[in-house]
Structure 1
Amino acid sequence: MSVLPLVFTSGWASGINAYAVVLLLGVFGATGLSDEVPESLQRPEVLVAAGVLFLCEAVADKIPYVDSVWDSAHTVIRPAAGAWVGALLAGHSGSLSDVAAGLVGGSTALASHAVKAGTRMAVNTSPEPFSNVLLSLAEDLGVGAIVTFAMFHPTAAAVIAGVLLLTGLLVLYFLISRIRRFLRRRAQRREERRLAVRAGTPPG
């Protein structure tokens, strides 16, 4: 059986929460619920590290503006994790080359990461903090549900992940104008504060 659907789905999920993907796959493999998970993801130190980082992300991801800083720091980490997991899955199954799987997993993770980061920037333009919490919880639950589903129905899960990715990219396209307005307003406020400070500084 081709591992490509699982690689695609894990790549999509890695772009949203890479630590959850590594943790879930590792648990599925370590408990014997799936034979598709390579031993590298089942090692205790990998599971512990993924669990700790998942908890860190679970907190940071629900705080306005902190989530965007966290996303920026993970612009390289999430696609790299998607590529790494994809290559491991391909190497374990032998039905797809490591390079091809890495490209699929990494590029899919990069696309879903862009959707997540852009959506969070748009949400942060709202003054209330509750939308961040709700969106973060929805992402965590969605990643958990789809990765779990993918272990038993990889093709169907890949179709769902593809639809979600395409929908997210379309939504992001329409949110770009809102994000640009927010960034312009923030830059304008910074400039106004800078000018106010300069005007209040006595000549030296």
Structure 2
Amino acid sequence: MSVLPLVFTSGWASGINAYAVVLLFGLYGATGLTDEVPESLQRPDVLIAAGVLFLCEAVADKIPYVDSLWDSVHTVIRPVAGAVVAALLAGESGSLPELAAGAVGGTTALLSHLVKAGTRMAVNTSPEPFSNIGLSVAEDLGVAGIVSFAIFHPLPAAIIAAVLLALGIVVVILLASRIRRFLRRRAQRREERRLAAAVRPPE
């Protein structure tokens, strides 16, 4: 069977939480539950690093405005991680060229990352912090569930990931006004900090 459904699903999940994807694949491979995971993802140093970074993301992702800053930093990291994981999966399977798999995984990860980042910008226009926490928990559980499902049922998992990606894009389009409001508010805060620094008397 082609590894393409698994590549697509891993790319979608990497755009939301790349560290969770690496950690889950590595653990499933290391425990012998699947032979689809390359050895490089099962190495103890990779698992430890992914675990530590996952914990960092689990905290940062639930704090208003910190989550958007974290997303900005990961605009490059998540697509690259999606491409690398996809290429490794394809190399292990041998049923799909690694370059093609990397392109699919990286592009899908970029799209899902943009959906996640845009949704968080919209949520951050709300004054209460609970929506951030709830959305972050839902994302973590969704990634864990779909990646785990994809290990054993790659095609149905890919269909679910595709539907979620399409719905996410529609939601971001509908929330465009709130996203613009977030960007204006962030620009205003940056300008206020710049002006405060400019008028501050020299020490």
* TM-score between both structures, scaled by the size of structure 1: 0.92
Task: Tell me if 1:130 matches 2:130.
Answer: yes
Task: Tell me if 1:25 matches 2:21.
Answer: no
1:109 corresponding residue in structure 2: 109
1:164 corresponding residue in structure 2: 164
Letter in 1 for 2:176: I
> For the residues of structure 1 that align with 2:53 and 2:185, how far apart are their CA atoms?
34
Moved over 3 A (4+): 185-198
Residues 95-142 of structure 1 show CA distances to partners (whole Å, capped at 9, x for unaligned) of 000000000000000000000000001000000000000000000000
Letter in 2 for 1:24: L
Structure number with greater Rg is 1
SS state at 1:11 partner = helix
Letter in 1 for 2:108: T
> For the residues of structure 2 that align with 1:173 and 1:68, how far apart are their CA atoms?
18
* Cα 1:46/1:188, change in 2 over 3 Å: closer
- List runs of 5+ in structure 2 lacking aligned partners: none
- List runs of 5+ in structure 1 lacking aligned partners: none
> For the residues of structure 2 that align with 1:47 and 1:193, how far apart are their CA atoms?
40
1:14 corresponding residue in structure 2: 14
Aligned length: 201
* TM-score between both structures, scaled by the size of structure 2: 0.93
Letter in 2 for 1:15: G
- Give RMSD over aligned pairs: 2.0
Percent identity of equivalent pairs: 79
SS state at 1:75 partner = helix
> For the residues of structure 1 that align with 2:56 and 2:182, how far apart are their CA atoms?
27
1:182 CA drift (Å) = 3.2
1:83 corresponding residue in structure 2: 83
* Cα 1:127/1:90, change in 2 over 3 Å: same
SS state at 1:76 partner = helix
